Structure 1
Amino acid sequence: MTGNGGDRLPAASRRLVEVCCDESGSDGENLTGGNTDVFAHASVRLPVPVAAAYVQEIRDRIRSPASEYKANHLLREKHRAVLEWLLAPSGPIHGTAQVHLTEKAYFVVDRAVDLLLDDATRALPLFRQGRDLFGDERWREFLQAANQLLRVRNYGEPEAPVDAFFHTVGALRPMAAAGEVAETLGRIAAARSRADSYRAALPTLIPVLNPLLPAIVATAAYWSAGGAAVRIVHDRQNMLTPERIAWIEERARRSGIRLAGVHLVVSREDPRVQLADFLAGIARKIASDELNGRGDPALTQLLRPYVDPASVWGDEASWILLGPGCAAPSANINSAV
């Protein structure tokens, strides 16, 4: 790793890497109708005193009376210079931070296709061609129906989400003509029994639609790529119960990832988590703007080195700008869920 952040840990400690994490953009299981269209999970690797000094420097540069700083302070136009300093190649976290991005709409399609076909590689072609083939309104209906099919919390008749989803699929099939998308929809239409089985035994422990858990696994994979064991320090939140942490650790072990444990802290008590909170919020906003065609080229370029190549991203045009030198993100990063 390079940059002003550098590798500040002594050689003896490189066998165990401790990274601190936070997220931005959580809307629970409402991924197609929530407040955000991007989920960002950021991690920072710095010693506590160094991180504390940088948090204080941010406060000194912004000079806000707020007792707790958030990413929105840095995203204000009047603090643009501070934001650019934070992300710059010569800045404090370059080379010591990472962000895993999830495009929520694609996440829904990926999870639905994998559930019904046990083959998530078909999700990306369907996602990238769907809006053009079916139009905005019908594609939005499909996304919402897929979201309702997968979410644990649903109201009304138990079979209603399944009926609605397959009704939507039936309406789309004649419009797909021939080709890969038509074949995928045909296979989905024949997978009603899988959907019924899923709704009959909903996975409440590990919700299929929550991107946080696979993002933590992906973060551990990123930081352990050089062979080090990774200990994750994460902002405390209700989703990270002891049972789910045990699932994360087991999933990492089965995937060959050297995860040495997940420890929860209160964000305001750990400056490293505060820096991760800044990066997550900043990355979510920059990525969402790029996804919606209103990106800031300078900020997107500054964010690019931090983006995990294994991010869950379906939109091709924005990924070309956001992705760190990759043509496309990993096809099925969420198959662990």
Structure 2
Amino acid sequence: MSGNREDGEQDGASGTLLEVACDESGSDGENLTGGNTDVFAHGSVSLSVASAAAAVREIRDRIRSPAEEYKANHLLREKHRAVLEWLLTPEGPIHGRARVHLMEKSYFVVERTVGLLLDGTSEAPDLFRAGRGTFGDDGWRAFLEAANRLLRVRDNGDPVAAFYGTVDALRRAYPGTRAAEFLGRLAATRARAEAYRAGFLAGPPLIPVLNPLLPAIVRTAALWSGDGRPVRLVHDRQNMLTPDRIAWIEEAARRAGVALAGLRLVVARDDARVQVADFLAGIARKIASDELNRRGDPALTALLRPYVDPDSVWGDARSRARLAAPVTG
């Protein structure tokens, strides 16, 4: 992050206030296992309005599409590869001034399932690698889909029965494995799952367990306020970000020791900074998805890597190595 006042810094009552613009890519609501995307991305940039507008103009001049509003897909077309590389290189307009948090959706489902049923997420990496490596593609997909159904708010069937039926079937099919050991622990949590589903009778929860946007915003604030200075986020307006949920984000940040000075919503087309954040989020999601599905472009992955939050979970080999590391505690 640059220390230049030009790059989004403002004077605040408690010192220099950093204003950061954000947008997301890959949101499919609570359908994390059967949606259109397999990676969620939350991009953020610390640019002045003037710098962001200049970057958008430069992209338009280089691409020369008649489209009224540019999106990441314009940059991802093969004929515009040079423009995409320019944007991400150290010589580009966002280097050192942008971050992106990436989350593989299947991992998010596992993490949320473990967090709800087993009181904490520390065992999620262990279950993730054990289950994927043991059950095969079909078995692992069945587990993820059943977990997704259990956690999502709206489901017309009996998601509790479906989840524990899947858990029991996989335990019987793979006895004696590390993965089956985890499933044995999950099998004993049915009462907790029933209580979780019963809570929906009073109406949908304020914070949906399966929506990655809200925790991603808190994480983004933490990335930019790492030196202790306050950060204010400017985010693309969307229905999920209601006043009550914004209050939750601010409180969650406070509890985590993050100096979040506020979250303001804008219309993306009216703020060039948010447009640039949208470019980064969409580009990063596509590159991460390609890596995840073993069709990655090494050059683009290398260009993206400096922007990626180190706590991200995505298809990059370094992220995979972290998930494969022994879990302690």
The question of a shared fold, defined as TM-score above 0.5 by the shorter chain, is answered with: yes
Please say if 1:8 is aligned against 2:9: no
Partner in structure 1 of residue 149 of structure 2: 148
Partner in structure 1 of residue 121 of structure 2: 120
Equivalent of residue 184 in structure 1, options 174, 182, 185: 182
**Alignment deviations for residues 30-88 of structure 1 (CA, whole Å, 9 cap, x no partner):** 00000000010000001111111111010001011000000000000110000000000
Distance 2:319 2:66 in 1: 33
**Alignment deviations for residues 220-273 of structure 1 (CA, whole Å, 9 cap, x no partner):** 010010111110000000000001000000111111111001000000000000
Partner in structure 2 of residue 335 of structure 1: none
Please say if 1:320 is aligned against 2:317: yes
Change in 2 beyond 3 A, CA 1:331/1:232: farther
Partner SS for 1:182: helix
Partner SS for 2:102: strand
TM-score for the superposition, normalised by structure 2: 0.92
- Identical positions, percent: 68
Partner in structure 1 of residue 216 of structure 2: 215
Please say if 1:48 is aligned against 2:49: yes
Contact 2:10 2:19 in 1 (8 A): no
Contact 1:142 1:165 in 2 (8 A): yes
Equivalent of residue 199 in structure 2, options 201, 212, 217: 201
Distance 1:238 1:98 in 2: 24
Contact 2:10 2:18 in 1 (8 A): no
Letter in 2 for 1:233: V
Contact 1:133 1:175 in 2 (8 A): no
Partner in structure 2 of residue 227 of structure 1: 228
Contact 2:45 2:97 in 1 (8 A): yes
Deviation (angstroms), 1:155: 1.2
Task: Give the aligned CA root-mean-square deviation in angstroms.
Answer: 2.1
- Pairing 1:66-105 to 2, within 5 Å after superposition: 66-105=67-106
Runs of 5+ unmatched residues, structure 2: none
Contact 2:24 2:281 in 1 (8 A): yes
Partner SS for 2:122: helix
Change in 2 beyond 3 A, CA 1:298/1:26: same
Runs of 5+ unmatched residues, structure 1: 333-337
Deviation (angstroms), 1:328: 4.8
Partner SS for 1:121: coil
Distance 2:326 2:243 in 1: 29
Deviation (angstroms), 1:298: 0.2
Deviation (angstroms), 1:124: 1.1
> Paired residues, what number?
319
